[in-house]
Amino acid sequence: MHHDKDASPPPPGPVTAGDCAQLLADLRGTVPLVQCVTNAVVTNFTANVLLAIGAAPAMVDLPGEARQFAPVASGVLLNLGTPTGPQREAMLEAADAANSAGTPWVLDPVAVGFLTLRTETAATLASRRPTIIRGNASEIIALAGAGGGGRGVDSVDEPDAALDAARSLASRHGSVVAVSGAVDAIVPPSGTVVGVANGTPLLTRVTGGGCALGAVMAAFASLTPDPLLAAAAATGAYTLAAEAAAARAAGPGTFAVHFLDALAALAPDDVERGLQLQESL
């Protein structure tokens, strides 16, 4: 399901656990097709996460094909983790084609800041007005031009410190900005910031823990014209499944396996009962 970018979005209202639960039910009913132009380290995990939650992955990242595929995808993820020359070209193609077709898309500016090439590419993509920008605190601060980035993919800033940068990015580009942390902050271009307080530190111990969330956000963004709700619902489902997996895991290795099972087993009722939302962070 595609949404016209020129249509006026509904006025932002409070996101409820019930809204997020309904969106998970909608995802299971529609099986969104998510095009992933993502990094070499996380491709397999990202595809498995999408399959587990009930979406369909398409790892279409070649120039020429990326432009062709974005209009038929339900949603698109552009992740800058390992930005080869062809991938950067494919990302720009996919962003432009998604915008033309009204396909929602997510930008994940992995490790921007110190590394010039990916930082310049991320800035160019951000100017194309992503539906959602997702990153850790250091990535969001760097993308907003307010800091030098983190230590590789690790954040050295707290989410609270990124709120001003996220608000700046959101208003500048008309994007919802999702900042990961102990409480994930979902920042709209205007209106109330929503916090999601679920999750587990084990997500940071598995390669792709954050990157795959960007793909899940692209799936949820295809289900509603409200990207604030989409980002919150994706984050909520993802972190609730992570909590369930952490309760059964002996460490990072078994956590990754249990996490896929927990995503598949997660029911809308689990979201309605377990989601911990905070407003006005």
Look up the CATH number of the domain holding residue 133: 3.40.1190.20
Domain membership of residue 46 (yes or no) is yes
Tell whether 172 is covered by a domain: yes
Question: CA angle 230-160-176, nearest 5°?
Answer: 25
DSSP 201: G
Q: Is 231 inside a domain boundary?
A: yes
Name residue 199's amino acid.
G
* HSE of 10, CA atoms in CB hemisphere, 13 A: 11
**H helix or E strand, kind and range, residue 259:** helix 252-265
The whole-angstrom separation of Cα 227 and Cα 220 is: 8
Q: Which domain holds residue 165?
A: 17-279
Average pLDDT, the chain: 92
Q: Is residue 6 part of a domain?
A: no
pLDDT of residue 114: 83
What is the per-residue pLDDT across 101-147, written as a single tens digit (0 to 9) for each?
999 999 999 999 888 999 999 999 999 999 999 999 999 999 998 76
Please tell me the total count of domains within the chain: 1
Give tens-digit pLDDT for 177-210: 999 999 999 999 999 999 999 999 999 999 999 9
Between CA 52 and CA 70 the distance in angstroms is 22
> Is residue 169, in this structure, part of any structural domain at all?
yes
Instruction: Specify if 2 maps to a domain.
Output: no
- Which helix H or strand E contains 58, and what residues bound it? strand 56-58
- What was the pLDDT predicted at 140? 95
Q: What is the pLDDT of residue 74?
A: 98
The residue behind tokens 């656990």 is: 17
DSSP state of 205: G
In a domain, 12, yes or no: no
Given a cut of 50, the residues of the chain with pLDDT beneath it are 1-12
Helix ranges restricted to H, 71-112: 85-101
Which are the contacts of 147, defined by CB distance < 8 A and separation ≥ 6? Answer: 113, 138, 141, 157, 165
The answer as to whether 99 is a domain residue is yes
